[in-house]
Amino acid sequence: MDQFCDNLIHTVCGILDLNAIEVRASSGYLIRCLYPKLSQISHNCVTNLFQTVTPEDFKITLKASVNISENQELFYNYVYPLWPTLIRRDFLKENKNLDCRCKRCGDKTELRTHLSTLKCSKCDNGILLSSDPLSDSCDWNCTHCEFKTNASSVKKVYRIVQSEIEAIQMVSGAEGIEQREAIFRKYRSVFHPKNAYMTILRVDLTQLYGRAPGYTIHELPDLLQEHKVELCYQLLEVLDVVEPGLSKLRGITLYELHAPLISLARNEYKSGLITREDFRKKMQDAVGLLEKSVEILKLEPPNSVEGELAIVAKQSLENLVQNFDLLIQTA
């Protein structure tokens, strides 16, 4: 290393750090990769690109996630899309030397998703919004009363709940559900229902309900199946804005949504709450969701986690379509 001066080493390390992205290897571990062409694409907190990476050789493929007009700029999101603005902008400054001023970062409500919004602790109906979303030292004001706090205090709350969620990230099964629901209840009075951390908890819960022992789709009572459906729809509502079009998380969520919808429709029909035609319509809606899921997930490498789910989803879709009339008749 003697032939390289300290400045050159620091410069190269800086370039790697600024431009590398994390991808998941076939072993399951995250590694950092550098893609020169990808590094040329501008960042935006609402991407219009869909990325897939082959786990074996780390070949990256970018596709349009939404319709892109001729001469429209391509955008790639360098940061986790569900984080609130203060956390996203901090990460981008510290890790990418980037002061993001995209439309989403500059909007108090994060394009009406309210991923950054807190509830006011001094009145019943107020919410706390930043007076200047592009500042990390401004006041946050209640929309209904005179109460205000500062960005530093808001960020501290974010960091606390983020650390709590990260601490249970590897906890799965029934315990994983119970711990996440406990955090959800704990911060329900603190955050707007669509806040980033409530949304992040929904991501995990939508995938645990229906899979965890004791909480499989066949074991879930209607109340918890309805809860899973609600979680999925709430998550999709946010994804429509911050990760529109094709995205892995959308594909996974649509897959998770179809099963409880079918189960609930069947139970409603058996109980005489809906007619056969209503039952057929609900089943057709579930098939449509599964079709969209397959359409997205089939873009993933077959040996990736999402690619394997695509195979399962496709098989489920084929079985559902082939036996559709029989399922209606024998319900």
Residue 99 has pLDDT above 70, yes or no: yes
221, part of any domain = no
pLDDT at residue 10 in the model: 84
Cβ atoms of residues 94 and 84 within 8 Å: no
pLDDT at residue 128 in the model: 98
> What total of structural domains would you count in the chain?
2
The whole-number average pLDDT for the span 153-163 is 97
pLDDT at residue 267 in the model: 95
Same domain, 70 and 86: no
Q: Share the mean pLDDT of the chain.
A: 94
Q: Phi/psi of residue 141, each to 5°?
A: -110, 145
Same domain, 70 and 87: no
Residue 7 has pLDDT above 90, yes or no: no
130, part of any domain = yes
Domain that holds residue 6: 1-77
The whole-number average pLDDT for the span 237-265 is 97
The whole-number average pLDDT for the span 4-15 is 85
304, part of any domain = no
Which residues, other chains included, contact 213 with Cβ-Cβ below 8 Å and sequence gap of 6+? 173, 174
Residue 3 has pLDDT above 80, yes or no: no
Q: Kindly give the pairing relationship between strand 30-33 and strand 127-130.
A: unpaired
Residue that terminates a domain, selected from 205, 227, 246: 205
Same domain, 53 and 37: yes
Which residues, other chains included, contact 146 with Cβ-Cβ below 8 Å and sequence gap of 6+? none
- Read off the pLDDT of residues 177-213 as tens digits, 9 standing for 90 and up: 999 999 999 999 999 999 999 999 999 999 999 999 9
The whole-number average pLDDT for the span 148-153 is 97
pLDDT at residue 295 in the model: 96
29, part of any domain = yes
265, part of any domain = no
Same domain, 129 and 36: no
Residue 67 has pLDDT above 90, yes or no: yes
Same domain, 28 and 132: no
Q: Kindly give the pairing relationship between strand 118-119 and strand 127-130.
A: antiparallel
pLDDT at residue 13 in the model: 84
Residue that terminates a domain, selected from 205, 228, 243: 205
Same domain, 73 and 140: no
Same domain, 180 and 103: yes
274, part of any domain = no
Same domain, 44 and 108: no
Residue that terminates a domain, selected from 187, 205, 223: 205
327, part of any domain = no
Q: How many angstroms separate the CA atoms of 184 and 187, rounded?
A: 6
Same domain, 123 and 192: yes
Q: Kindly give the pairing relationship between strand 42-43 and strand 75-76.
A: parallel
Same domain, 28 and 102: no
pLDDT at residue 270 in the model: 94
Residue 2 has pLDDT above 70, yes or no: no
Same domain, 26 and 104: no
Residue 244 has pLDDT above 90, yes or no: yes
- Read off the pLDDT of residues 23-46 as tens digits, 9 standing for 90 and up: 888 777 888 899 999 989 999 999
245, part of any domain = no
Residue 1 has pLDDT above 60, yes or no: no
- Read off the pLDDT of residues 254-309 as tens digits, 9 standing for 90 and up: 999 999 999 999 999 999 999 999 999 999 999 999 999 999 999 999 988 899 99
The whole-number average pLDDT for the span 113-125 is 96
